[in-house]
Amino acid sequence: MATNRGGDTVKGGYYWNLEKWDATFVEGPFGELPGSSAEIYRGIPTAALLFAAPIMGALFVMFLPFIGIALLLQHITRAAIEAAGDVIERVLRSMSPTWRPGMAFLAGKARRTRHAEKAATSPELEALEKEIEERRRN
């Protein structure tokens, strides 16, 4: 079998691309092989092709269920990874602080301290504190 490269002019027939594992058909008495000069092709004799085609078809039929299962598992895995990525992204967005430059939230602290002072000076709380101290002593 002769070795040819992409872009070479060859006789018509079937040629096997060794890098892509792909068969190419060249029509007519002469034609050009597709691809760059880095791609290597070998001619396939017609007798070998007639012998190999039924074997390749039988292998394809035998392994088709396994190929289907593998593709299904690949699809499920990709979908699960995408879903997990979306969930992680949402969680990280909700957990990250929202920093707004130019916005001051200092006014709320003064109100809190006023409420704390008001609560500390409440007569009800003072009475409750005295009652708790008395029960601890007894």
Q: Which domain holds residue 129?
A: 107-137
Q: Is 44 among the domain residues?
A: yes
Residue 26: which of 9, 39, 3, 40 has the closest Cα? 9
Contact partners, residue 19, CB within 8 Å, separation at least 6: 39, 40
Identify the pLDDT of residue 23. Answer: 86
Amino acid in the structure at residue 57: G
Q: Is 50 among the domain residues?
A: yes
Domain end (from 14, 39, 65) = 65
Q: pTM to 2 decimals?
A: 0.43
Q: Is 28 among the domain residues?
A: yes
Total structural domains in the chain? Answer: 2
CA distance 54 to 118: 93
54-67 confidence digits (pLDDT tens) = 998 999 999 999 99
Rounded to 10 degrees, the C-alpha dihedral 121/125/128/134 comes to: -30
pLDDT surpasses 60 at 17: yes
Q: Is 70 among the domain residues?
A: no
87-97 confidence digits (pLDDT tens) = 999 998 888 77
CA distance 123 to 42: 101
CA distance 10 to 23: 15
